[in-house]
């Protein structure tokens, strides 16, 4: 498939749905909604000190948001809030200005480079990251990850 938005690897990530579901007793819950298309992502986090212990997500969204949530489900364990804040900035810069792909373990976001020319789809890619930040902010509104 030659469509830059729906590369085979992105479709596979979305289908894998790493982390899909709910945590039984999350320490933090956050959601993000895109009113222009109806995408909605809710994340559930268990926290271990200043790190994410576990993540689960319920993603009712397009393939791009599903793939982004799947990347987080696969890579977020052990990350700090500051890592998520940096990831949000790096993915945004990659989409907006052609900045480099985020470093490992988030380098799979490079698969979204084809979405850069579709400004209306940037929010779809960022939505799961924003849901995680919303969860962290809800758990401690005065924390450094703001």
- The CATH number of the structural domain formed by 8-139 is 3.90.1010.10
**Partner residues linked to 43 by β-bridges:** 30, 57
Count of CB atoms within 10 A of residue 114's CB?
17
Helix (H) or strand (E) holding 105: none
Determine contact, residues 136/28, Cβ cutoff 8 Å: yes
Domain boundaries, the chain: 8-139
The pTM of this model reads 0.93
First to last CA, the chain: 39
Count of CB atoms within 10 A of residue 107's CB?
13
How far apart, in whole angstroms, are the C-alpha atoms of residue 110 and residue 95? 10
pLDDT of residue 146: 46
Length of the chain, in residues: 146
The answer to whether the peptide bond before residue 105 is cis (omega within 30 degrees of 0) is yes
> pLDDT by residue for the chain (146 residues), tens digit each?
457 677 899 999 999 999 999 999 999 999 999 998 899 999 999 999 889 999 999 999 999 999 999 999 999 999 999 999 999 999 999 999 999 999 999 999 999 998 999 999 999 999 999 999 999 998 876 565 54
């Amino acid at each position: 498939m030659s469509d830059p938005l729906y590369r085979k690897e992105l479709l596979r990530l979305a289908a894998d749905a790493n982390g899909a579901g709910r945590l039984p007793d999350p320490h933090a819950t956050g959601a993000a909604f895109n009113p222009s298309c109806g995408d909605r992502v809710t994340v559930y986090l268990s926290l271990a000190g200043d790190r994410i212990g576990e993540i689960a997500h319920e993603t009712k969204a397009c393939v791009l948001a599903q793939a982004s949530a799947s990347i987080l489900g696969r890579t977020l364990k052990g990350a700090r809030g500051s890592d998520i804040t940096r990831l949000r900035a790096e993915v945004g810069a990659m989409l907006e200005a052609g900045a480099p792909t985020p470093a490992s373990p988030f380098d799979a976001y490079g698969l979204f480079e084809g979405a850069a020319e579709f400004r209306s789809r940037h929010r779809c890619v960022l939505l799961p990251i924003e849901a995680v930040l919303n969860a962290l902010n809800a758990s401690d509104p005065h924390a450094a990850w703001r």
